[in-house]
Amino acid sequence: MPTRQRARAQATAAYIKRQRQLNAVQRPLDMAALAAEEAEHPDRRRRRGPDLGPQPPRPPRRDYSDEPPPF
């Protein structure tokens, strides 16, 4: 039976390091692709962030201070 060459902590650290390296390479590629798409289709605007339009009004809060609990 094969023996373990690395501790689990070492394996996890190596996995995280590798994923961060891949993300560092992929992010500029994604940003370049997005910029190219926006340059190709300037009439299409991509929504970013939580700004998705006006929020609907909140319903008024009820005051239950004088009423007994419902049963």
Q: Domain coordinates of the chain in residue numbers? A: 1-40
Beta strands in 13-65 (DSSP E): none
Between the CA of residue 24 and those of 5, 21, 30, 34, 69, what are the distances in Å? Answer: 28, 5, 11, 16, 56
Residue 58 region, left (φ>0) first, then alpha (ψ -120 to 50), else beta?
Answer: beta
Query: Average per-residue pLDDT in the chain?
Result: 80
pLDDT of residue 52: 60
Low-confidence residues of the chain: pLDDT under 70? 44-55, 64, 67, 69-71
Contact 14, 7 (CB under 8 A): no
